[in-house]
Amino acid sequence: MLWPLHPPSTSLVSQCVQLGSTESFRHKIPNKARRKMFFRLLPWEYAIRNLFRRPLRTSLTFAGLTTVILLVLVVVGFIRGLERSLAVSGDPRTAVVFSLGMGDNLEYSSIAMRTSDLLPASVPGIQERYGSAYVSPELYLGTQVGVQGQEPSMGIVRGVTKSALMVRRQVEIEQGTWPESGEIFLGRMAATKIGASESQTKVGQSIELEGRSWRISGIFSAGGSAFESEAWCRLDDLQQAMKRQDLSIVALTMKPGADFADLDLFCKERLDLELQVIRETEYYASLQKDYQPIRWLAWLVVLLVSGAGVFAGLNTMYGSVVGRIPELCTLQVIGFVRRSVVISLIQEGVLIASSASLLAALLALLFVNGTAVRFTMGAFALRIDSTAVLVGCGVGIALGFIGAIPPAIRALKMPIVDGLKSV
């Protein structure tokens, strides 16, 4: 008979002590019965009932594991959000023409204004619609952007024409209208990038840019891409404010199946223009490589947080197991082998860790998923997807499993007679 809610009685302990060690007692049992005993496990409900024997300790362990797993989910959500933002930003049919020798620094590029007219006239295969080529001349830069009552912050501004909507096919107007002269068009993550609130950047409000006040005409989304952290305005307005007559880049969309070799050949032949071309998907893939150290650092944080959770779980489980040494020794005396007792303790740890994982995943989906964060490239939303939930729950279950093994082994290494006498 088991006693999951009460320690063994003194009379029963004295009888068990008289039996001597479990090994000597086990030698008196026939081999067939011994083999059956070896595979005998403690009932599953025994582990469940033990969790409610110490409600305070169980609650503290549960809260600690939930916090650790929630931190893991936040870090993994950061990694997944960054990867998705860069992955959906590129269009395989779109190419970017910019200044030679700029590497991946498009904001420092400077090309002639006439480039946007030469490309559709010289390069075959550019997408057209109703006689209009899918070519977007753009002035792209980082500059100080401020809102009323707040210090200016670094923002990303792009001067465009209406042809940008043809090339950037993922852009959709959520609120307001396309900007006119003196107006600006904000992505839905632009407020996060400049450190402003949504009320300060809603339609009709104003922002300060290059010494001028710009009225916010609308809000746009771009399918979670990097464009959502930018501010767009008319190309001629930005050129006038910046006192520039050049362009940063020319983005264009090729027809389905068109060869990019003609575009590359044009850039190489026109040495006077000093141009180079890169596919948009390749450009954002290169950014992913640049951010690879940051992603590895984030995974290192996951490992460190998980390690801290393991040590916290070990500390808690040690305290729980040490107080139950007489109970564990008595279980061995009445016929349960050490492996069965260890499995029961692991069941307890995995059960509470699984419950904490489910709660942490629920909290992450409700309060963390979609949260906007600032980053060097702009801003993006934390993403708690199936991969993040799988990693978080896997870490949680591993914490419960690993945290229960060392204290269980240490407790069961004590001689049974000594353990029974410690009542």
In which band, very low, low, confident or very high, does the pLDDT at 422 lie, cut at 50, 70 and 90?
A: low
Name the β-bridge partners of 231.
157, 186
SS3 217: strand
Q: How far is CA 204 from the centre of its chain?
A: 34
Q: Of 51-65, 145-159, 304-318, which gets the smallest average pLDDT?
A: 304-318
Look at residue 418 in the predicted model and tell me its pLDDT: 64
What span, in angstroms and rounded, lies between the C-alpha atoms of 16 and 181? Answer: 92
What span, in angstroms and rounded, lies between the C-alpha atoms of 169 and 94? Answer: 10
Average pLDDT over residues 50-68: 81
Instruction: Identify whether the C-beta of residue 277 lies closer than 8 Å to the C-beta of residue 126.
Output: no
Which carries the bigger pLDDT value, residue 374 or residue 159? 159
Q: Which residues of 274-293 are buried (b: 16+ CB within 10 A; e: fewer)?
A: ebbbbbbbebbeebeeebee
pLDDT digit string (tens) for 378-404? Answer: 788 999 999 999 999 998 898 888 877
Look at residue 316 in the predicted model and tell me its pLDDT: 67
Which carries the bigger pLDDT value, residue 7 or residue 347? 347
Look at residue 365 in the predicted model and tell me its pLDDT: 95
First to last CA, the chain: 19
What span, in angstroms and rounded, lies between the C-alpha atoms of 166 and 110? Answer: 23
Residues 6+ apart with CB under 8 A from 211: 241
What span, in angstroms and rounded, lies between the C-alpha atoms of 94 and 168? Answer: 9
In which band, very low, low, confident or very high, does the pLDDT at 320 lie, cut at 50, 70 and 90?
A: low
Q: Of 9-13, 187-191, 389-393, which gets the smallest average pLDDT?
A: 9-13
Average pLDDT over residues 133-140: 94
**What single-letter DSSP state applies at residue 144?**
E
* For residue 298, pLDDT beyond 90: no
In which band, very low, low, confident or very high, does the pLDDT at 18 lie, cut at 50, 70 and 90?
A: very low
Q: Of 38-52, 61-75, 147-161, 271-285, which gets the smallest average pLDDT?
A: 38-52
What span, in angstroms and rounded, lies between the C-alpha atoms of 112 and 89? Answer: 26
Residues 6+ apart with CB under 8 A from 417: 17, 20, 21
- Give me the torsion for CA of 159, 162, 164, 165, rounded to 10°: 140
Share of the chain above pLDDT 70, in %: 84
Q: Is 213 left (phi over 0), alpha (psi -120 to 50) or beta?
A: beta
SS3 268: helix
Query: How far, CA to CA in Å, does 333 sit from each of 18, 24, 321, 385, 415?
Result: 11, 10, 17, 49, 11
Average pLDDT over residues 91-106: 88
In which band, very low, low, confident or very high, does the pLDDT at 263 lie, cut at 50, 70 and 90?
A: very high
In which band, very low, low, confident or very high, does the pLDDT at 117 lie, cut at 50, 70 and 90?
A: very high
Average pLDDT over residues 75-90: 89
Look at residue 319 in the predicted model and tell me its pLDDT: 65
SS3 25: helix
Name the β-bridge partners of 221.
172
Average pLDDT over residues 218-230: 92
Helix axes 338-363, 386-413, angle to 10 degrees: 150
Look at residue 237 in the predicted model and tell me its pLDDT: 94
Look at residue 39 in the predicted model and tell me its pLDDT: 54
Q: What is the mean pLDDT of the chain?
A: 82
The residue among 138, 407, 121, 128 whose CA lies nearest residue 247 is 138
Average pLDDT over residues 259-282: 91
* For residue 232, pLDDT beyond 80: yes
Query: How far, CA to CA in Å, does 99 sit from each of 112, 226, 274?
Result: 9, 21, 6
- Give me the torsion for CA of 164, 165, 167, 169, rounded to 10°: 150
Q: Of 159-163, 185-189, 311-315, which gets the smallest average pLDDT?
A: 311-315
In which band, very low, low, confident or very high, does the pLDDT at 8 lie, cut at 50, 70 and 90?
A: very low
| Placement of tokens 């492996």 in the chain | 339
Residue-range domain boundaries for the chain: 10-86+292-421, 94-257
Look at residue 111 in the predicted model and tell me its pLDDT: 94
SS3 189: coil
* For residue 25, pLDDT beyond 60: no
Structure tokens at 71: 């931190």
Average pLDDT over residues 345-360: 88
Look at residue 317 in the predicted model and tell me its pLDDT: 67
Average pLDDT over residues 34-62: 70
Q: What is the pTM of this model?
A: 0.79
Radius of gyration of the chain (CA): 33
* For residue 248, pLDDT beyond 50: yes
What span, in angstroms and rounded, lies between the C-alpha atoms of 263 and 260? Answer: 5
Name the β-bridge partners of 172.
221
Residues 6+ apart with CB under 8 A from 163: 132, 133, 134, 135, 136, 137
Look at residue 30 in the predicted model and tell me its pLDDT: 52
